[in-house]
Amino acid sequence: MPTYTFRNKDTGEVFEQFMSISELDVYKESHPELVQQPSAPFIGDAVRLGLKKADPAFRDYLKSMNKANSKGVTKSTINYD
């Protein structure tokens, strides 16, 4: 279920509300004083997206696993970076 950001028109308070998409319309109708704020969607894991590098110790562990199990394979399929 997504998290939605709302701003109160009267007080200016900004807060997040966790609810399903079907609950969103009912919530907005029952709270006319609130305005939904645009927010960035949650895309995924920063490491898998390449935005953040894996820990160097983990990469060293992958290298040692590859070296111990290579059995003559010349090209590794493990990406260390």
Does residue 79 sit within a domain?
no
Does residue 10 sit within a domain?
yes
CA distance 16 to 33: 15
For 21-32, letters b (16+ CB in 10 Å) and e give: eeeeeeeeeeee
The predicted-structure confidence for 25-77, as pLDDT tens digits, reads as follows: 999 999 999 999 987 777 777 667 776 777 889 888 888 888 887 776 666 66
Cβ pair 38, 2 in contact under 8 A: no
pLDDT of residue 19: 93
pLDDT of residue 80: 59
Which residue segment(s) compose the domain that 17 sits in? 3-39+47-68
What is the pTM (predicted TM-score) of this model? Answer: 0.50
Task: Please state the domain count of the chain.
Answer: 1
Per the DSSP assignment, residues forming a β-bridge with 8 are 34
